[in-house]
Structure 1
Amino acid sequence: MYETITIDTDARGVATLTLDRAEKHNAMSAQMLADLSAAAAGLAADDAVRVVVLTGAGKSFCAGGDLGWMQAQMAADAETRFVEARKLAEMLQALNSLPKPLIGAVQGNAFGGGVGMASVCDIAIGVDTLKMGLTETRLGIIPATIGPYVIARMGEARARRVFMSGRLFGAAEAVELGLLARAVPADGLAAAIEAEVTPYLACAPGAVASAKALIRDLGPRVDDAVIDRTIRALVDRWETDEAREGIGAFFDKRKPAWNTQV
């Protein structure tokens, strides 16, 4: 049914949604955006599903946006860029507003949009060996469409520590920043996720959905106006010389002009 993800639901109603582009470190392509949006709609409408666990296949949780997809945006016109950015933003919002508990099992590294994917989860638990980072500024772009979810998770003060610098950080700092609730050894991840799943199976599904909706209503606002603002910010950055240089340098396997690190 899907090309880039899998969904397996057990007899209890626990659905495991797996990003399944292990050979590409689960980077988000145009097809993955479409698959995830469709999956979110299907899971939301399926009364048999009580809890959703989001994870990745292979060594990485999600490496962010597929560079081929981003390169295509650089070659597209502004209208096409806006449409593609909206697909990314709408996928994130569909997962963020999923009327089921969404638990992140972050089994490997998460960069850029992968940090955004962890941030739309109601709780995320990661392996203690992982690395994370909001790496967009290294490419001359910004973490725009994921921004509302990352900042809602971390708060502005903690976000300022990592949102602009592009630096990588480990699992312990990810816990300190609020991106992860806990970091556990790889062989303990399944048990840690199960401990989060089990309590929901004793709760009324409708009450859980209503409680989650109330949290989102009372928390930082991520409405159409905010989403439109992030889309415009991303599209505007795609149109800059810095973005062309940064993404071009990545594909050329060279440092961009601004990189003065030794």
Structure 2
Amino acid sequence: MSGDNRTVQVCLEPAVLQLTLNRPECGNAMNLAMVAELRQALKSVRDDRRCRAIVIRGRGDHFCTGGDIKEMALAGGRAANGDGEAAYEQLNRAYGQLLVELNQAPQFTLVLTHGGVLGGGLGLVCASDLTIAQKNSQLGMPETRLGIPPAQIAPFVVDRIGLTRARSLALLARRVDACAALALGLVQQVADDDADLTRQSNQILAELARCAPEATAQTKALLLNAGHLSRPQLLDLGARQFASAVCGNEGQEGTRAFTQKRRPGWADETMEVR
């Protein structure tokens, strides 16, 4: 399904959900409609293990230049009626919930950036499993220069690169290029151009195709719990997941494929970015 009149173009192939931010006229700035459409797209595949990967990219010259300042101004204009702060809070918190849902998606999430990757765009990067940035990407947190805090983004940036690095990036409203972002750990790979970005993306998806979808989802959940559960709780959870997997369809198929010296059934699927 897709639609050029929507703020997000959605293309669901058998194994890959491709989401393209579709407000190129304003640098793919995020508004409530875009946040809602992204959340709906994530929800539509949450329990679908046929969907193995979610790929997010941007149309036009920029990946995403942050929040929609015009929409924020309209929200502020309602302050005279006493609901301005509530409108701002709704917009900001909805975006934070999007980051939570992207971060916890059971599928492998891949973000592909180019041009401006600012504010909300950087949040999508930091909530992804892996980001490939074109060399022309400029990543940053400009919020303090606008007189606002990076309220929903901050915890995801800290999780991604650590508190010390996040402090200088956020407090000084710095922008970094793709190579500097790679050194910081904001992104995991750098591509020369569109063609290289597609090549690297398809290479990642080919690796993912060799991994069992349910095992991928459980592994991701285990990793995300690592900083929130005690070590005994985490190991107990891991033991339960392991036992369930060994006795389940994927574990049995993986064992048979190994002993029969063949590829498991889930590895036969072709996945690629189009």
TM-score range, shorter chain: 0.7 to 0.9
Alignment partners' CA distance in 2, 1:34 and 1:93: 13
Kindly indicate whether structure 1 or structure 2 has the higher relative contact order, using CA contacts under 8 Å at least 6 residues apart.
Answer: 1
Q: Give the superposed CA RMSD.
A: 1.7
The residue type paired with residue 100 of structure 2 is Q
Contact 1:108/1:126, CA 8 A, preserved across alignment: no
Query: Could you tell me which residue of structure 2 aligns to residue 6 of structure 1?
Result: 9
Query: What is the correspondence of 1:1-262 to structure 2 with a 5 Å cutoff?
Result: 3-11=6-14, 13-76=15-78, 77=83, 78-186=85-193, 187-219=195-227
Offset from partner CA, 1:148-199 (integer Å, 9 cap, x none): 1111001111112211111221111111111111212013111111111111
Gaps in structure 2 of 5+ consecutive residues: 230-274
Q: CA deviation at 1:108?
A: 2.6
SS in 1 for 2:74: helix
Residues 106-154 of structure 1: CA distance to partner in whole angstroms, max 9, x if unpaired? Answer: 1332011111111111010100121111000111001110111111001
Shift of 1:220: 6.4
Task: List per-residue Cα deviations over 1:7-26 (Å, max 9, x = no partner).
Answer: 22334x12211111111111
Tell me by how many angstroms 1:45 deviates: 2.8
The size of the alignment, in residue pairs, is 220
Per the TM alignment, residue 82 of structure 1 is displaced from its structure 2 partner at its CA by 2.6
Q: TM-score, normalised by structure 1?
A: 0.79
Could you list the runs of 5+ residues in structure 1 that have no partner in the other structure?
222-262
Cα distance in structure 2, aligned partners of 1:215 and 1:42: 23
Normalised TM-score (structure 2): 0.76
Query: Which of the pair has more CA radius of gyration?
Result: 2
* Corresponding letter in the other structure for 1:116: G
Percent sequence identity over matched residues? Answer: 32
Please report how far the alpha carbon of residue 102 of structure 1 lies from its aligned counterpart in structure 2 after TM superposition: 0.2
Distance 1:196 1:15 in 2: 15
Provide the rounded CA distance (Å) in 1 between the counterparts of 2:149 and 2:11: 34
